[in-house]
Structure 1
Amino acid sequence: MTTRGRTPVDEQRPGGAHDPVGRDDAELARVRAVAAAGPYQPEWSSLQRYRAPLWYRDAKFGIFIHWGVYSVPAFGNEWYARTMYQRGTPEFEHHRTTHGPHDEFGYKDFVPLFRAERFDPVAWAQTFQRAGAQFVVPVAEHHDGFAMYDTARSRWNARAMGPQRDVLGELGSAVRDAGMVLGASSHRAEHWWFMNGGRAFDSDVRDPANADFYGPAMREETAPNEQFLEDWLLRTVELIDRYRPQVLWFDWWIERPAFEPWLRLLAAYYYNSAHAWGREVVINYKWSAFAEGSAVLDVERGALAGTHPEVWQNDTSVGRTSWSWVEGHRYKTMAELVGDLVDVVAKNGVLLLNVGPKADGTIDPAEVALLEEIGDWLQVNGEAVYGSRPWTIPGEGPTSLPAGSFVDAAERTYTGADVRFTQRDEPGGTRLYALVLAWPEDGVARVRAWGRGSGLVAGELEDVRVLGADGPAVVRRTAEALEVDLPDRRPSSVGVVLRATLREPEPPRRDDTLH
């Protein structure tokens, strides 16, 4: 660990830590020793033996939290620390008009205003538990370089400044006490260039006194140097050692080639450390930063065209354009959020849904209401989600998201013909689920894939029920579809979920008279 105090032999570390000569060398040696000790080695061939844990594959639903200094200006989005220094942007003009010239009031000057005076980690955890979340992933450090945890590698952290509380530590305790799993996200990699707009004009980014916060502020096209990469690794190791998160989420810039050997080292250290703890963990990555199979793919605000052979994750937000709370937030509808969840789960994925608390530590009532409504929906329909597995096809119907990232900002309206499928094995047989994404106008749910003529159901469908309704449903199975008469009372606020037990066809009887 490094120390906050500076001595005559200290060297300035890029990104803000003061390291007594040799201290980081010793820590790096320890990290390499753990990574080399197994069961994983820092080589892709070894790391590809990784398998995502069962708890994560069964969880299906987690909460992401973007909360930090950017919650004070609450303008634009969580990239305010960057865009406020980019001339010609709305954030630049807003900042100059609202807060003053950039050389007199910079991003650092929001830190004392980030008081979090109403932050109640227990209340947050209760809200996430009420929503039905199985794990929680707070942003430990965003691109702005302000750590939301107690770190020895930078004085710019929530324990030393602003809230003067170990946000990640307090929330982690509350999350675990509520029976959920704690994760953490690191966006530190992007800090290499994040504040560079402030170097182009007279701003406080140019002041050497602020270099331990705003630096390095390099150009985006330059590769991070070894000192920055070393600091990135040791910050992440500190997170792992101090908080033992079971999900470690990274943003996209780690896919730069310079990170590759450090990613292998970090993954081996994390997986081996977790093995020593007796825990199973997950690394989330985007695009191609990790070798396939060595961690869990994350698709931001996105969708896949079909079912992925391995578990994957979609991270999205209750807001359409901003991850952090901003004035004038535009929220998704409950129907869209349920659609996000079930489309991901039907394709072998996990949904990480983001909320953005306000600077005072409260979660906007509109976001709380959405989370509570998701929880109510899962109370009725959760057996079709938690612990489920993909069916033969992920879905049917006219409405879908295009495959790829950043495809969910436009509004969507689902119909009663939009259906997603899951299944689960039970002692009484395989349970099939059809998650209909809107209530059919005529009160009859029609599932084409379950029709006798589809060729997708090898056997008979028995005990067909509407989740949340009493007793077996009235059904008709034709060549075109399985038709289910729905009850007068809607069991949940979005769509309806059908459950059927699949009776496998009996194998041909053996004739013992033939030899």
Structure 2
Amino acid sequence: MITLLRLSVLIALCIVSLATEFRHFEKAHKDPQVKRYEPTWDSLDTRPLPKWYDEAKFGIFIHWGVFSVPSYVDEWFWNYWKGPNPNAKVVKYMKDNYPPDFTYGDFASQFKAELYDPDYWADLIQESGAKYVVLTTKHHEGFTNWGSKHSWNWNAVDVGPHKDLVGMLANSIRNRTDVHFGVYHSLFEWFNPLYLKDDTNNFTTREFVVDKTMPELYELVNNYKPDVIWSDGANGPDSYWQAPEFIAWLYNDSPVKDTIVVNDRWSLTTSCKHGDFWNCADRYHPSSVQNHKWENCMTIDKYSWGFRREAVIADYLTMHEILQTMISTVAYGGNLLMNMGPCHDGTIMGIFQERLKQTGAWMKVNGQAIYGTAPWDKAQNDTVNPSVWYTTKDGSVYALFVEWPADNVLVLGAPTPSSSASKVTMLGVQQSLTFGPGKPTGIRVTLPSLNTKQMPCEWAWTLKLDGFQ
């Protein structure tokens, strides 16, 4: 009788739960206040951008996969070796260092990630000042960094690490930081037979999309609940990928429908046209304010997204270059997504760690001129001083400059004081600064005389202008 009673209670609870879920579902579909997006770009493009993404301004990109084992030339290593247009340098490297019967698949067993510490990764990302991270879950090689049911024996649980690399980082990010977790996913795969078959059929068949790509995307969202889906590798027409159907589900019914943002790389025809934010090309950096949210995805290594062992110090961006890129990107309304490439064993090279830590130290002083700001409508790059860019927030204007003038006088052509109460301060310095009129317009600001220990930061500085127009 006790068992039957318990069973009856469980059944009753299940019925109540199902009824509640149905009421929520019914309300979402009938409530005129809850907008439903249709699987068309015209409808999807009306969705407002979630506020967190525009305010974040800065994220970290991570390229990691089987390509991290050869770690030579860049992440397109397999395609350079066996693709339709071989790279002679890569072909020679394989011939000189591996037996004739060695395959790219053999690299997977060496991708062990034995020193992978997702807690350290999460702490480093938090320290960098980034507000979101985008982890490569699958590159064009097709290897999934989680145990995907749709990538049998070509995933990080079945082969190599025998770990859920995606889930481990997602958990560490959420448990240790306030950073938003995002995923990179390549729609196509260079050598997948299903994709090659659809390509041969001029994309009139969709076996690869139905059986591989879209199931993976639904799996990623349901398993890891990312706030960013960074799609890539969208060879093939819009009609082939059926992305609008997936994105409509994301916006309407997915577990991340209120926070998710997607980029524009969903087919050959969507780039710079559709998506919550646009990264029209790698290192996209327009020199004017755009009419749509955009992102500059760039690399610390000037020549590669994945780690490469042959890189020399001159191949990495300096902090001066990184901050100039960040400041100018944010001034024009963009976000900066800065990439690093870990080693195959899960370690992060010192140069990447240093750049992230240095960026974070700079953000601690100057972050208020970056996070949550908007482009200044009067000027984004100064009218007479090309080393100065502007942002604005809460009525203040921020002038960020990357060259300290030799005479300690910074000339600004754009700002005009609006009253006798107008004030200029430097972030990280206590006292107000003196300023006077510029010629023919603007102002001349006398910067403080500081020794190296008194400088608020090393590479770029920020003036806060209150009472200026």
Whether the TM-score (by the shorter chain) exceeds 0.5 is yes
Q: 1:280-313: CA deviations, max 9, x gaps?
A: 2100124841684642111321211200123211
1:483 pairs, out of 433, 440, 444, with 444
Asked whether the 8 Å contact 2:135–2:182 carries over to 1, the reply is: yes
Matching residue's letter, 2:413: R
Residue number in structure 2 paired with 1:187: 186
- Between the aligned partners of 2:226 and 2:135, the Cα distance in structure 1 is 10
2:458 pairs, out of 482, 493, 502, with 493
Residue number in structure 2 paired with 1:464: 424
Matching residue's letter, 2:109: P
Asked whether the 8 Å contact 2:119–2:169 carries over to 1, the reply is: yes
Question: Which range moves more in the overlay, 81-90 or 45-54?
Answer: 81-90
Residue number in structure 2 paired with 1:326: 308
Residue number in structure 2 paired with 1:158: 156
Query: Are 2:52 and 1:55 equivalent residues in the alignment?
Result: yes
Residue number in structure 1 paired with 2:207: 227
> SS at the partner of 1:110?
helix
Q: 1:44-65: CA deviations, max 9, x gaps?
A: 2321221111111100001110
Shift of 1:105: 0.5
Residue number in structure 2 paired with 1:305: 287
Q: 1:474-503: CA deviations, max 9, x gaps?
A: 222334332222221421111211101126
- Between the aligned partners of 2:139 and 2:432, the Cα distance in structure 1 is 50
Asked whether the 8 Å contact 2:400–2:462 carries over to 1, the reply is: yes
- Between the aligned partners of 2:224 and 2:160, the Cα distance in structure 1 is 21
Query: Are 2:373 and 1:423 equivalent residues in the alignment?
Result: no
Residue number in structure 1 paired with 2:38: 41
- Between the aligned partners of 2:430 and 2:455, the Cα distance in structure 1 is 12
Asked whether the 8 Å contact 1:315–1:354 carries over to 2, the reply is: yes
2:76 pairs, out of 75, 79, 90, with 79
- Between the aligned partners of 2:419 and 2:96, the Cα distance in structure 1 is 69
Asked whether the 8 Å contact 2:198–2:208 carries over to 1, the reply is: no
Query: Are 2:382 and 1:396 equivalent residues in the alignment?
Result: yes
Flag structure 1 segments of 5+ consecutive residues without an equivalent: 1-32, 196-212, 399-415, 505-515
Residue number in structure 2 paired with 1:270: 250
Matching residue's letter, 2:400: L
Residue number in structure 2 paired with 1:439: 404
Matching residue's letter, 1:467: L
Distance change in 2, residues 1:349/1:291 (3 Å): closer
- Between the aligned partners of 1:44 and 1:358, the Cα distance in structure 2 is 39
Asked whether the 8 Å contact 1:52–1:281 carries over to 2, the reply is: no
> SS at the partner of 1:335?
helix
- Between the aligned partners of 1:250 and 1:119, the Cα distance in structure 2 is 25
Q: 1:226-265: CA deviations, max 9, x gaps?
A: 11121211211111111111100111525633336x1110
Residue number in structure 1 paired with 2:433: 473
Asked whether the 8 Å contact 2:300–2:352 carries over to 1, the reply is: yes
Shift of 1:188: 3.0
Asked whether the 8 Å contact 1:391–1:422 carries over to 2, the reply is: yes
- Between the aligned partners of 1:215 and 1:105, the Cα distance in structure 2 is 23
Shift of 1:277: 4.8
- Between the aligned partners of 2:420 and 2:276, the Cα distance in structure 1 is 39
Distance change in 2, residues 1:233/1:376 (3 Å): same
> SS at the partner of 2:278?
strand
Residue number in structure 2 paired with 1:253: 234
Asked whether the 8 Å contact 1:116–1:361 carries over to 2, the reply is: yes
Sequence identity of aligned pairs in percent? 29
Shift of 1:126: 0.4
Flag structure 2 segments of 5+ consecutive residues without an equivalent: 1-24, 30-34
